[in-house]
Copies of this chain bind each other. A is one copy, B any other.
Amino acid sequence: MDKNDRIYGLGETLGTLNKRGKKYRFYSTDDPMHTPEKEALYGTHPFMIVDGKNTFGLFIDFPAELIFDIGYENINTLKITVTGKNFDLYIFENENKNSIIEEFLKLTGTPFLPPKWAFGFQQCRWSYPDKESVNNIADNFRKREIPCDAIYLDIDYMENYKVFTVDNNKFPDFPQFARDIMKRGFKLVPIIDPGVKIEDGYNVCDEGVKNGYFCKDKDGKDYVTAVWPGLTYFPDFLNSTVRNWWGNLYKDFNDIGIRAFWNDMNEPAIFYTPDSLKEVSDILKQNSGNTDLGIEAFTAKDKMLTMANNRNDYKSFYQKDESGNIINHDDVHNLYGFNMARGTAEGLMNLDPEKRYFLLSRSSYIGQQRFSYIWMGDNFSWWDHMQVHFRMLQSLNMCGFFYTGPDIGGFGGNSSPELVIRWMQLGAFTPLYRNHSAIGTRNQEPWVYDEESNDILKNIIRLRYAFMPYAYSEFKKSTENLSPFIKPLGFVFETDRAKDAEDQYMYGDSLMVAPVYTPNARGRYVHLPEVKWLKWTASKFEDRNMTVYDSGDYFIDANLNEIPLFIKENSLIVLENPKQYTGEKETENLYITGLVTEESEFTFYDDDGESTGYKNGEYYKINIKISKTETEFDVNVEIDDTEEYPCTIKNIFFEIYDETGKKYTMETKID
């Protein structure tokens, strides 16, 4: 590498946005401890861009282990190890980074538009284990008027962790319960794991065994591992017959109206196998009575620790491809989550082609943006993981995963009120806005702290909802243009300083977000490249005090309740009054703001938010153009709708700033 080359991409990996200085391994792995030295996480995204002396893109399509050493062993050497011969290497020759991404997405597929509620707030916990606790969460949101669109069901909703079952003791009359809660504006999002509990009389297990749908051991018997339910079989998703079967298992949920899911544990995670458990027992048995093990005590400990997700186990089972060829799982390991998502997506589309679905997957592979979104796995309530959040957000967007996000507030470990506040601010400007935490950790729902913290959190979530028209419009545009919704500053401004400002990013094309991600901070440094910027240290929708900044470096004050936002010169953002949930009521008023020194345009997009009708023209757009004149501004509003899908907006309120910081308010009525 040239000394000044920057390397971008690699999707769901730890480390900096410029990937230099670290080694990355793609072998999808359920590792719940994302410490900085870790090389492999849940997904496999071997697409990168070299930006510098010779700018180009590179994608290696290979489903087994891949290693990228990017200036780790030797500071200026990039070394890629492909552990097999049967791979496709794509080079994207283009000087423009955004064009490289466009070409890459033309090759690997278009990210799909989620239902609009996916841009609302989503509440998760391992677990809300029964009807009462879910209803209690729902009550709290509505009673406190904190907007929320989704409540998740983690593994405890199932009967003994049997996938596609619901525990009737915890959720008596589940269909009625689900319909009731959905009527209140909450989507219910059950978790789905691939591991099928081995149990006679359990239909999923029985069908899979009978039809030979499960992965096999070397002798052709159904391969046994252990995950949440104890001993389980893994469906062989490599095969379309199995995918079709699996996709149809979502029917019961679909019939109730549940079309939102999260596929977990699909690397696939393995806790242990009967063989590996026996191995540890044997070591201890062997040493039984011998207490003077010295350092040898570590051997048993290490064995115990490496029992989960062990490579040897992945090498011990087999899958069957479309043509019936037997393939060692290890050779196609990184496709397991991909094909599970594919089966799920095809099933859901088939079950109700008229309605969008929502699907998160933990494991993923390049191209999966066509079927599912992903979340970033089991992070921790560490401040450092806010950096992982915004870096991974940018890197995943480059790889086609526009809609993504982490567990806000941190999954593992306990969080402090301040951490959750700062993280919820960052999350408000992340497509997937989901607060999630693990069993045994401190609760982090937005009302569990002191009154002041709770107020701040409520206002942040309301701010998120105020941005709904902007986020939904810009996201739609990004899928149309094959241009990431989240962009690094260095993909918009080609200066060294912009490229190195990894802790600031574009959320849509108009807004730069500069989150505060350190404890006890009263502000942060911000780099403003090239143009003028309209600063909003935002605490709530109703307070929209804006200041014009020239390009440069600034320490920006930001109290605990504030996040620094910057609207780019000659671009606009569109807000609305926050709703309680996305489908609560129609939007009638839009609020448009920005700093206009010459001319700026914004296209507002809207549709019903739930159906697939937008694919057939059931949507409308409003093109807004603002031009600076000698003394004030010209505003031009054009409605582009149809009789079948007419515009619902009645008023547009403008709050436009000139370069002196003077605010002009205008209003447009739409009949």
Please report A residues at the B interface, Cβ cutoff 8 Å: 6, 15-16, 18, 20-22, 33, 35-37, 71-72, 74-76, 161, 226, 228-231, 271-272, 274, 277-278, 280-281, 284-285, 287-288, 291-295, 297-298, 300-301, 304-305, 307, 380-384, 413-414, 416-419, 449-450, 452-453, 496-497, 500, 518-522, 525, 527, 553-555
A75 adjacent to B226 (CB under 8 Å): no
A230 adjacent to B292 (CB under 8 Å): yes
A518, B285: Cα distance in complex, Å: 47
B272 adjacent to A449 (CB under 8 Å): no
B281 adjacent to A452 (CB under 8 Å): no
Choice from B16, B380, B518, B525 contacting A525 with Cβ under 8 Å? B525
Choice from B291, B295, B520 contacting A278 with Cβ under 8 Å? B291
A281 adjacent to B288 (CB under 8 Å): yes
A231 adjacent to B292 (CB under 8 Å): yes
Closest B residue by C-beta to A413: B37
User: How many copies of the shown chain assemble into the complex?
Assistant: 2
Question: Which residues of B are found within 8 Å of A20, using beta-carbon distances?
Answer: 418, 519-520
B305 adjacent to A16 (CB under 8 Å): no
Choice from B36, B272, B298, B419 contacting A382 with Cβ under 8 Å? B36
A226, B414: Cα distance in complex, Å: 32
Closest B residue by C-beta to A278: B291
Question: Which residues of B are found within 8 Å of A71, using beta-carbon distances?
Answer: 416, 418
- Knowing A75-B449, A382-B36, A554-B553, the reply to whether A288 touches B285 (Cβ < 8 A) is yes
Expressed in whole angstroms, the minimum distance between the Cβ of A599 and any Cβ of chain B is: 31
A277 adjacent to B301 (CB under 8 Å): no
A21, B285: Cα distance in complex, Å: 46
Question: Which residues of B are found within 8 Å of A274, using beta-carbon distances?
Answer: 291
- Knowing A37-B381, A381-B37, A384-B384, the reply to whether A291 touches B21 (Cβ < 8 A) is no
- Knowing A36-B383, A416-B21, A553-B555, the reply to whether A300 touches B291 (Cβ < 8 A) is no
Known pairs A22-B519, A75-B418, A553-B555; list 11 more (Cβ under 8 Å).
A21-B419, A36-B383, A75-B449, A226-B292, A226-B294, A271-B298, A272-B293, A280-B300, A300-B304, A301-B305, A525-B555
Question: Which residues of B are found within 8 Å of A15, using beta-carbon distances?
Answer: 519
Choice from B21, B75, B295, B450 contacting A452 with Cβ under 8 Å? B75
Closest B residue by C-beta to A520: B18
Question: Which residues of B are found within 8 Å of A521, using beta-carbon distances?
Answer: 500
A522, B304: Cα distance in complex, Å: 43
A271, B527: Cα distance in complex, Å: 49
Expressed in whole angstroms, the minimum distance between the Cβ of A522 and any Cβ of chain B is: 6
Question: Which residues of B are found within 8 Å of A518, using beta-carbon distances?
Answer: 16
Expressed in whole angstroms, the minimum distance between the Cβ of A144 and any Cβ of chain B is: 19
A38, B16: Cα distance in complex, Å: 24
A297 adjacent to B285 (CB under 8 Å): no
Question: Which residues of B are found within 8 Å of A525, using beta-carbon distances?
Answer: 525, 553, 555
Question: Which residues of B are found within 8 Å of A292, using beta-carbon distances?
Answer: 226, 230-231
Choice from B72, B307, B382 contacting A416 with Cβ under 8 Å? B72
Question: Which residues of B are found within 8 Å of A18, using beta-carbon distances?
Answer: 519-520
Choice from B297, B416, B500, B519 contacting A272 with Cβ under 8 Å? B297
A419, B15: Cα distance in complex, Å: 13
Q: Which of A36, A307, A414, A555 has the most CB of B within 10 A?
A: A36
Question: Which residues of B are found within 8 Å of A419, using beta-carbon distances?
Answer: 21
A6, B521: Cα distance in complex, Å: 11
Question: Which residues of B are found within 8 Å of A497, using beta-carbon distances?
Answer: 555
The 10 nearest A-B residue pairs measured at CB:
A230-B294, A274-B291, A525-B525, A36-B382, A37-B413, A230-B292, A18-B520, A21-B519, A75-B417, A281-B284
